[in-house]
Copies of this chain bind each other. A is one copy, B any other.
Amino acid sequence: MYSIGVNFDLTYITAGIVDEKGNIIYKEAIPTLKYREPEAILKDLAALCLRIVEKNGLVIEDIKSVGIGCYGSVDTEKGIMIYSSYFKFKNVPIVSILQKYIHVPIKCENDANCYALAESKYGATKGYSNSIIVTLGTAISGGIIINNKIYSGKYYGAGEFGHHVIVFGGEQCECGRKGCWAAYASQKGLLRDAKIMAVRHPESMLFKMVNGDLRLMSFRTPFEAAQKGDKYAKEVVETYSKYVALGLINIVNILQPEAIAIGGRMRKIGDMFIDDVAKLVGEKTFGHLEVEKKTKIMLTKMDYDAVIIGATML
């Protein structure tokens, strides 16, 4: 038997056929075209699932279940996508819509929760019963695992780590508040600060590496410039690491998980970045804990395909 896992993301919908060991044996993506009505998007999502079954010489009876990892908060019991700030969805009954086209059991869950679940079974947080995944990308998402299960709060809205304020009255966040962690520790925050530094210091490598065209700056630029010795880029990178660490320390002081794994695009920066962050977190966490009692800070082992795998575990 196989399962289908779907990463229902803002830009792409990716569906994968997953075997019983958690391997994706085939996957395919279509553009989400998010500005359409939910019904139209979900019809495409269902068609994608059915198509990959056929393409792999399978029939729907070979599929045990379909799991959807959604970009937004999800009422997992009722199968409803409650809210997504980016999709502008409100209370869309995605399971009942999909069930019109797909006649196997369907479940849905927040994508970061799927990520956390897969990572805790197959990835970096394997073996830890209490763990957290934080994805640092355009925004910040989070998934909480307590006693090997997803913890999603009373109304499926827990884990919004990106929207905890770390700078009272600080940078405007998309959620409406000011100074959220997401406004500093996301890729967006990093790029803003790197660009401001480049504007202030046209003599910097930050500026020169993009020939002054700030549109070309990527999340890698400040890290590469810093490695080449640019003091301005170093300052940007150090400040960014401090912001990332600060939010992680806050999470540790509140929830004290065994491990936090960092996923998302910023994961690609790699060990140099995570080592700095882990050091800061270890030094500043409340309680003067012995080393072995400190929350482990690491990179996730899996990329966004973890959402597909996690969705089949629901």
Contact = CB atoms under 8 A, between A and B. Distances in A.
A184 to B, nearest CB: 8
B160 A254 contact: yes
A73 B153 contact: no
Interface string A241-261: 001001001110111111000
A161 interface: yes
A175 interface: yes
A153 B151 CA distance: 13
A120 to B, nearest CB: 14
B168 A167 contact: yes
A270 interface: no
A154 B286 contact: no
B165 A246 contact: yes
A163 B258 contact: no
A155 interface: yes
A186 B284 CA distance: 21
B256 A254 contact: no
Contacts of A73: 287
The winner among A90, A154, A170 for most chain B CB atoms within 10 A is A154
A289 B287 CA distance: 35
27 contacts: A73-B287, A146-B151, A153-B255, A153-B256, A153-B257, A154-B257, A154-B258, A154-B293, A155-B293, A156-B256, A157-B253, A157-B256, A157-B287, A157-B289, A157-B293, A158-B255, A159-B254, A160-B253, A160-B254, A160-B287, A161-B253, A163-B286, A166-B166, A167-B167, A168-B170, A250-B250, A254-B255
Interface of A: 73, 82-83, 85, 90, 130, 146, 151-161, 163-168, 170, 175-177, 184, 243, 246, 249-251, 253-258, 284, 286-289, 293, 295
Given A82-B287, A168-B243, 12 more contacts: A130-B153, A154-B256, A155-B256, A155-B293, A158-B256, A160-B286, A164-B164, A164-B250, A165-B166, A165-B250, A168-B184, A177-B249
